[in-house]
A and B are shown apart, each in its own frame.
Chain A
Amino acid sequence: MSTATENAPGTPAETIVLIGHGMVGQRFLEELADRGVTQRARVVVLCEEPRAAYDRVHLTSYFSGSSPDELSMVPEGFMERHGIELYTDDPATAIDRATRTVTARSGRVFAYDTLVLATGSYPFVPPVPGKDSAGCFVYRTVEDVLAIEEYAKNCRTGLVVGGGLLGLEAAGALKGLGLETHIVEYNPRLMAIQVDEGGGATLRRTVEDMGLIVHTGVGGQEITADADGAVNGMALSDGSTVATDMVIFSAGVRPRDELARAAGLDIGERGGVVVDEFCRTASDPAVFAIGECARATDGMVYGLVAPGYEMAVAAAATIAEGGSPAADAKTFTGADTSTKLKLLGVDVASFGDPHGRAEGCLDVVYSDSRSGVYKKLVIGRDGTLLGGVLVGDAESYGLLRPLTGSVPPAAPEQLVLPAGLAPATAIGPSALPDDAIICSCHNVSKGAIRAAVGEHQCVTVPEVKKCTKAGTGCGSCVKTLGLLVNDELAANGVTVDPGLCGCFSQTRQELYEIVLALRLNSYQELLDNHGRPAARGGDGCEICKPAVGSIFASLAPTIGADVYVLDGEQAALQDTNDHFLANMQKNGSYSVVPRIPGGEITPEKLIVIGEVARDFGLYTKITGGQRIDLFGARVDQLPMIWARLVEAGFESGHAYGKALRTVKSCVGSTWCRYGVQDSVRMAIDLELRYRGLRSPHKLKSAVSGCARECAEAMGKDFGVIATSNGWNLYVGGNGGATPRHADLLAQDLSDAELIRLIDRFLMFYIRTADRLERTSAWLERIPGGLDHVKDVVVHDSLGICDELEALMAAHVATYRDEWAETISDPEKLRRFVSFVNAPGAPDPTVRFVPERDQVKPDLTILAGPELPVRTLEGSSTR
């Protein structure tokens, strides 16, 4: 046997073999690497799936546009960096504990010193006749999801067996694919494990309102198929039948313990490899089991990822210590299964003892079926909070979960009332004890958060997140975190000045409201009447001038300011790029970026750009926004360049300024065999609609013609992705230094609905964002986050949507081409000179040298101290 093993000569003395590369397996590898074990030991991983570990929890996000690659859990280069050998598509088929070898399907044999089982679980398929017909699927892997998507293309109706967490996700996915969707749940309610009867009823009503058809308390009797063996219906245990074109089984999972059974390891009564608190198997000290295939010391098999991670840590720590764990070693003896999740857009949370199993416990229930809210708290005889269920409004989860096990500081009935009805003093984070765990993902206590503020001088939530890791997991505690940070700052007597700058004590949002309410259009009036006392009568500063200029520009038609941003007093407020309508580069020259809406351009226009670049000697580069950037224009050349562009039917474009930049597009249904909508047309429409719109920061957009997302709309401030039914609108995406995937705001919109929603979204952003706050940071900051924005712009919860739409309509109606306007007015043209006292003379310091057949700035002339430059002759420096 030993001659056949894959142990290369010179390999380390110790070999660790991991069977299974799911989320828990990957976490185990990271823990090994963190503890230096990968340096001393050979680590081999056998993975059944064709791809390395990915985020199974967010599998459903594949349907809203994530690619399988984006779901990957493995940092780039991780395996190579740590010398880990990963064999995908090659599952282990046998374990020989006598010789300590593992055989893989490929025939490879590996000798091990330590073996770790992380084989996960498999979907349970009830033994229904017909379950193997074509059109029956399970919902567990990327491959399952790809197969479901493909098969659903020819289906009208789908049925999901199982109304638990995964079943609802699968049903949401089918609904999203445009199928009429049924859910069949054997239990009398949806999500029977997490919620009680009342919560289940509320959840059901909400789910049915979304158009899903729910059957509870019934099982599948038989799956019927047509002559070709393809599913055409399901008979239910109540005698009814449902016609369906496909069936997804999502009725729970079972531990993958068959390898362990065959190897003679102890298996629990209800399955799962029996392990101790270090995740070592009861039968063999050289073998460990972690995650969903393991049965913990409390007799439970945990099907959640968080306990799996804890087991991965415990096993890796034990292995790192050479198998004899330290006294304070990490152990796993059971987990809190409290959860808060959003299913089909509905908040569902349960914590502690949600079903009231404790003896003699009592309930306090708040139920409002009109708004789909159900809350129940389970209270012990002595008033201790034992657990609860929250459906439709899980806001208070972040406070209630840490209070579990203690007597809450307010009467339980006050804790379930909706915000606004409860007395303000009822409960706040100040009521929590210092040892209450605020962030359960990273196990951060209230005391640690207070210390971050008090001792480490953190004054904002992002700083506290960085310092403590709190709020960086599932994010459900961020709201509580914000309240705690504010309380703590106040308690320490720290006042944070939220003012825009040294001139104004107001935030940008407050200044916007002042400008709009008073119809102010003079900066000096604003400064002298609303500025900080010491700043009144002064010249303002470089921070508030452009910010106020931007507010005036956004509201120009409404407040009676000139739409042309360089008119009158407004001219003095603009940053240099807005003042010269082009982008200043490092040597004081400018770049010009003609607007190419949607990235669509005719050959004739392309030639004009080439000719302009050639005639003015400009360096030419294709941008990331599907435009062409022309660099190296002197300030006095700008009007001549614009004139040439305007003559050819262009306008110059905003590649500068806090305004809409571009709307990228893929080629869409016109040419692409996958496209389902005309993304180019939509991108052009959007770019022309929102061009010139001044905002707190730049705005980028893109439109993709199908879910393949070639236009990268999910990385934009507002991104649009075509569906077979219309358009999905995503907001708050960002690339750059802090990439963020955009969030879905609404789906399957018509053209008109899409535009109306973007109008509202942008105007709400402009109204409420801070200066230089991109939509991504704004969405993260504003209280209530995406849900609040959705409430305001989709459901009009503040009643301001008419006003937002009117503001945008005014912008669109009054848009003018700033560049054409400038070149047609001799007065405005006067500023485009290098020297006020020598209008014909070019600036001799703006020089260029050759680089790769084009030019680049000559920096040698700028490098030294100020030297008199005597060369006035020579009209061209190139």
Chain B
Amino acid sequence: MKVEVQLTGDEWVPVCGLAELTPGRGVAALLPDGRQAAVFLDRHGRTYAIGNRDPFTGAYVLSRGLIGSTGNEGMPFVASPLLKQRFDLTTGRCLDDPDPEKAVPVYATRSR
């Protein structure tokens, strides 16, 4: 099983084997146009991908954060490893700062 990330339209890029991901953690993938995606796997086998750049520090590190889910809504997120702001893995919205500038891009994923 390969994990794929959607670029634009129908363009999907394979990034790694599903077995290479550790539940609860992420990896960084280099996209063909030079962008970086952070790809995650949760404990139920669902995959997510967002931009790897942490908008608070500018560093390309979100793939190295810890993922979790919010207690009430069960919303999946990753916490930046630098200053711990959390980003919703489904919308890219920062849970700790409503400023739209602090949201990150989201990529669709699939495994096949």
Contacts and interface: CB of A to CB of B under 8 A. Distances in A.
State yes or no: do A and B come from one complex.
yes
Contact of B22 (A542, A572, A862): A572
A489 interface: no
Contacts of B1: none
Contact of B24 (A573, A577, A841, A844): A573
B106 interface: no
A105 to B, nearest CB: 60
A535 interface: yes
A872 B15 contact: no
A861 B57 CA distance: 11
B29 A835 contact: yes
A401 to B, nearest CB: 45
Interface in A840-868: 841, 843-846, 859, 861-864, 866, 868
B67 interface: yes
A542 B59 contact: no
Contacts of B68: 503, 538-542, 545
Contacts of B112: none
Contacts of A864: 58
Contact of A584 (B42, B79, B82): B82
Contacts of A546: 66
B74 A538 contact: yes
Interface in B53-112: 53, 57-61, 64-72, 74, 76, 79, 81-82, 84, 86, 105
Interface string B24-57: 1101111001111001001100000001010001
A874 B24 CA distance: 33
Contact of B81 (A572, A584, A841): A584
Interface string A533-556: 011001111100110000000000
Contacts of B69: 535, 538-541
A214 B84 CA distance: 61
B86 A862 contact: no
B30 A841 contact: yes
A571 B67 CA distance: 12
B82 A835 contact: no
A838 B30 contact: yes
A584, A846, A859, A866: residue with the most chain B Cβ atoms closer than 10 Å = A866
A796 to B, nearest CB: 39
A845 B57 CA distance: 12
Given A540-B69, A576-B81, A843-B60, A868 B34 contact: yes
B71 A542 contact: no
A178 interface: no
Contacts of B35: 866, 868-869
Contacts of B20: 830, 836
A576 to B, nearest CB: 4
Nearest to B74: A538
Interface in A500-546: 502-503, 524, 532, 534-535, 538-542, 545-546
A65 interface: no
Most buried by B among A532, A836, A863: A836
Looking at B43, B71, B81, which has the most chain A CB atoms within 10 Å of its CB?
Answer: B71
Contacts of B25: 571-572, 579
A571 B22 contact: yes
A524 to B, nearest CB: 7
A841 B86 CA distance: 28
Given A579-B25, A863-B58, A870 B33 contact: yes
A571 B59 CA distance: 23
Contacts of A579: 25, 64
A831 B64 CA distance: 10
Contacts of B57: 586, 862
Contacts of A841: 30
Contact of B16 (A534, A580, A586, A836): A836
A577 B71 CA distance: 25
Nearest to B15: A837
A837 B30 contact: yes
A572 B34 contact: no
Nearest to A527: B43
Contacts of B84: 542
A575 interface: yes
A586 B51 CA distance: 18
A535 B27 CA distance: 25
Contacts of A542: 65-66, 68, 79, 84, 86
A837 to B, nearest CB: 5
B67 A862 contact: no
A503 B71 contact: yes
B29 A837 contact: yes
B59 A836 contact: no
Contacts of A541: 66, 68-71, 79
B51 to A, nearest CB: 6
Nearest to B84: A542
A836 B71 contact: no
Contact of B27 (A576, A836, A843, A863): A836
A539 B64 contact: no
A88 interface: no
A837 B28 CA distance: 8
Contacts of A524: 43
A845 B59 CA distance: 8
B64 A866 contact: no
A503 B68 CA distance: 10
B42 A539 contact: yes
B61 A588 contact: yes
A587 interface: yes
B43 A534 contact: no
A834 interface: yes
Nearest to A830: B20
Contacts of A834: 28, 30
Contacts of B15: 836-837
B30 A545 contact: no
A532 B71 contact: yes
Nearest to B66: A542
Contacts of A580: 64
Nearest to A539: B69
Interface in A736-772: none
A572 B30 contact: no
A859 B39 CA distance: 24
A624 to B, nearest CB: 22
Contacts of B64: 576, 579-580, 584, 588
Contacts of A866: 35, 51, 53, 105
A542 B42 CA distance: 13
A836 B66 contact: no
A830 B19 CA distance: 12
* Most B-side CB within 10 Å, residue of A588, A870, A872: A588
A584 B61 contact: yes
A170 B57 CA distance: 57
B72 A534 contact: yes
Given A576-B65, A837-B29, A538 B71 contact: yes
B82 A539 contact: no
A539 B24 contact: yes
Nearest to B101: A865
A830 to B, nearest CB: 7
Nearest to A531: B71
Given A539-B76, A572-B24, A586-B82, A545 B66 contact: yes
27 contacts: A534-B74, A535-B71, A538-B71, A538-B74, A540-B68, A545-B24, A571-B22, A571-B25, A572-B23, A575-B66, A575-B81, A586-B57, A587-B58, A587-B59, A831-B27, A835-B29, A835-B36, A836-B28, A836-B39, A837-B14, A837-B16, A843-B36, A845-B60, A846-B60, A861-B58, A868-B35, A872-B30
Interface of A: 502-503, 524, 532, 534-535, 538-542, 545-546, 571-573, 575-577, 579-580, 584, 586-588, 830-831, 834-838, 841, 843-846, 859, 861-864, 866, 868-872
Given A576-B66, A579-B64, 9 more contacts: A534-B71, A579-B25, A588-B60, A588-B61, A835-B30, A837-B30, A843-B36, A866-B51, A869-B35
Which 9 pairs from chain A and chain B are nearest by CB?
A: A862-B58, A572-B24, A576-B81, A541-B68, A542-B79, A502-B71, A538-B69, A836-B27, A868-B34
